[in-house]
Structure 1
Amino acid sequence: MKLIACPVENLLKPVRSVSGIVERNQSLPVVSNILIEQTGGSVCFVTTDLDIQIRTTADVGVPGSEGRFTVSAQKTSEILAALRPLDNIEVSLTEDGLAEFATSGGRFTMQTLPAQDFPVIKPQNWASTFSIPSKTLRYLLTMTAFAMAQKEIRYFLMGVLLVVEGSKLRAVATDTHRLAYCEAEVDDLMQAERVEAIVPRKTVRELLRILPEDDTPVEVNLGDTQIGFNFAGIEFFSKLIEGKFPDYQRVMPTEDTNPQCVRLNREELLLALRRVQILTNEKFHGVRWLFSEGELLIQGNNAEQEEASQTLSVPWRWADLDIGFNLLYMIELLSNLKNAEVDFHFAATPKSVLVTMPESTSFRYLIMPMRI
């Protein structure tokens, strides 16, 4: 029974949209598959990892036919990616229940699993709903996601905190050694009561992969244990992380606590750090910043007693300061920022440093010093 007939590129697009969350080694085999539901010309594609679910549709079906099956997400993606985009492809279910992908140059026959065994996440009742341009949501996540914890006993740090309050949407992430904060004004958003949600790390990464880089509206739905995103024909549901996120407002330095502000050229600083990185300890990644009148000396070394240093001319006019940082944290920060200059706010003694963008209060970054 023929269910799908279209150019390869028309089928590859929805398959790629939903396949990113699928992991190879699953204890439940059907979760490694895509659920394909065809009713006439419309075909629905669904994947899940039991915590996240992505659904999209495409008009690639054969009118007058109907069918449901699941097939390997990884193999399907690889087969379609290996074919010529403009070639026509037909997808059929054989009498033996196999899925057959056929083009003029050959065919691929794969095992299927019953569609009724596929676990579908049902959305809950939403407590808050609003719309935001896709590029704005991407910006908020991009500017904070790099500070998420990777492996942390405090599981609630392995994600991005979203805070909806008034007309603002805030994103915050921290691994306790650094903290990134970014906010944006959202048109027509007026949330009377503050709403918070911790979005898991994998969900954030997947959103950054598939969110359009334009003004496509994204409908965001927040519930007690779920978050949903609807955009560009995609429905995206995810469980939230339960737990109490740290009080980021209490730990964030201010320009009053850190009055020594020096403005540095972002690209020059990034290049200097990457040069020093070549001979820096690969385990601890620690580098020293030594400020003196009009100068910044960056030093790094490794276990082989090799050293690297870079000197930059900077408008430093306070007492000499010797402070250490995690090199990778600084490189990640500067790589995500796109503006020409960056403001570093230091206290008179080595303690947490505030990083901001000139003439902007939407982004703030805290980094703790290292003892070198």
Structure 2
Amino acid sequence: MKISIERNALLRAVSQAQSVVERRNTIPILSNVLIEAEGDSASFRATDLDIEVVDKATAMVERAGATTVAAVTLHEIVRKLPDGAQVKLTDDGASGRLTVEAGRSNFSLATLPKEDFPVMATSEYTANFSAPAPMLRRLFDKSKFAISTEETRYYLNGVFMHVAEESGGQVLRCVATDGHRLARIDADLPDGAATMPGVIVPRKTVGELRKLLDDDDMQVAVSVSESKVRFATPEITLTSKVIDGTFPDYTRVIPAGNTRKLEVDAAEFAKAVDRVATVSSERSRAVKLVLDEDRLVLSVNAPDSGNAEEELVVAYGDEPLEIGFNAKYLLEIAGQVDKENAVFMFNSSGDPTLMREGNDTSAVYVVMPMRV
């Protein structure tokens, strides 16, 4: 194999690949990226056996071929090369070495046989559809903060992507929860997605997927089966196993009867929570909300470190209410609001609270209260 490729194109391809690779590996080949050169492009494939990413880049291919080389090492070399450099990758197949040349820099890296590289088995996808990158970005960005990190409840360690019934028809929905807070985000159902099985997209996959979705004009091809999900752009294909488990019935925890309505400027609210939480103990970070007519008092009482209180002018016309929340959860939920106003719907100090952006019900958040 002998190819010449522009440094920036190579860096983009290799950085996507090396981020999938696990740093500590008992199987050496899994630390490597598989480079395949043919025609006028080179593809860079990496896997951790659960996720596989293939990134294509335009290259001048003098001699077609394939080899595998340490992904992290190659990434570090390319990252340190000067911008705009032409990089030559040469593998003669006999020496077990890949030569990397750019200008006066010359590196020789150990390779492993391409035959040893595990390629993820192709799956029969039951649903194939196309979705705009901004839509997918919104679905996953606004839900991922609520993914559980508790390994014992593995079925909560991802985002549940599925088709849901709403009064206006079917929607594409992403839900995540860790038992303390929940995010439910809806988008218009793309053509061809109606037959999609509900799948739990793992946390790591959600993080890798985010890197594919920066271009606002791009359409992403999505394929879903019972065991795998695939997201493809013209350059990058990300394939992942889905979490083998049943996502709980989240509809039971979304309160429908909360009538006490608080409307507050989301940015001001987040800043005030952040300020008063400065004195709270790290363990609980409890913030008390005291609601009265058009007035909200946020307070923290931390016997070890001190007290804090801040008052905000809000729109609230119901009975007075005192309720406590984990400050981190409040900040994360308030941080999802793109519009100016956050609307909180309360029932009592012991019941889950619902939050949405203004009158928009396509993004709904639930947070459990704390005793304060």
With the length of structure 1 as denominator, give the TM-score of the two structures.
0.94
Question: Using the alignment, how far apart are the partners of 2:30 and 2:196 within structure 1?
Answer: 35
Tell me, in whole angstroms, the C-alpha distance in 2 between the residues paired with 1:21 and 1:292: 50
Partner of 2:137: 138
Which amino acid letter does the alignment assign opposite residue 179 of structure 1? L
Structure 2 residue 79 is the aligned partner of structure 1 residue 81: yes
**Secondary structure in 2 aligned to 1:204?**
helix
Contact 2:129 2:190 in 1 (8 A): no
Q: Percent identity?
A: 34
Note the 1:86-101 alignment, pairs <5 A. 86-93=84-91, 95-101=94-100
Q: Give the Cα–Cα distance (whole angstroms) in 1 for the partners of residues 161 and 281 of structure 2.
A: 35
Deviation at 1:277, TM superposition (A): 2.3
Equivalence for 1:329: 329
List gaps (5 residues or longer) in structure 2: none
1:307 aligns with 307
* Structure 1 Cα separation of the partners of residues 248 and 266 of structure 2: 29
Whether the aligned pair in 1 keeps the contact of 2:5 and 2:86 (CA below 8 Å) is: yes
One-letter code aligned to 1:289 = L
Question: Deviations along 1:293-350, whole A, 9 cap, x unmatched?
Answer: 2211111244623122211112222222111111111111122222111100011443
Aligned ranges 1:50-65 → 2 under 5 Å: 50-63=49-62, 65=63
Match of 2:65 among 53, 57, 67: 67
Matched-pair contact (CA < 8 Å) for 2:143–2:176:
yes
Equivalent of 2:176, from 173, 177, 180? 173
Instruction: Give the equivalent residue in structure 2 for 1:365.
Output: 365
Distance in 1 between residues matched to 2:301 and 2:60, nearest whole Å: 61
Structure 1 residue 354 corresponds to structure 2 residue 354: yes
The residue that corresponds to 1:188 in the other structure is 191
Q: 1:267-312 CA deviation, whole Å, 9 max, x = no partner?
A: 1001101112221111222111111222111112446231222111
Shift of 1:189: 4.2
Note the C-alpha offset of 1:99. 1.2
Deviation per CA, 1:75-112, whole angstroms, max 9, x where unpaired?
Answer: 11111111112111111125421111111121122111
| Deviation by residue 1:114-147 (Cα, 9 ceiling, x = unmatched) | 1111111022111111111111001000110100
In structure 1, distance between residues paired with 2:285 and 2:147: 18
Aligned counterpart, 1:280:
280
| CA distance, structure 1, for counterparts of residue 334 and residue 348 of structure 2 | 23
1:245 aligns with 2:247: yes
Distance 1:167 1:83 in 2: 50
Indicate the SS of the match to 1:20: helix
Deviation at 1:16, TM superposition (A): 2.0
Task: Give 1:43's aligned residue.
Answer: 42
1:193-232 equivalences in 2 (<5 Å): 193=195, 195-232=197-234
Following superposition, the deviation at residue 212 of structure 1 comes to 2.7
- Contact 1:216–1:232 (CA<8 Å) still a contact in 2? no
Change (3 A) 1:157 1:187: closer
Could you tell me whether the CA contact under 8 Å between 1:21 and 1:52 is conserved in 2? yes
Q: Residues 10-67 of structure 1: CA distance to partner in whole angstroms, max 9, x if unpaired?
A: 211211232221121011111111100112432111000100001122221423x122
Q: Amino acid of the residue matched to residue 184 of structure 1?
A: A
The alignment's TM-score, normalised by the length of structure 2, stands at 0.94
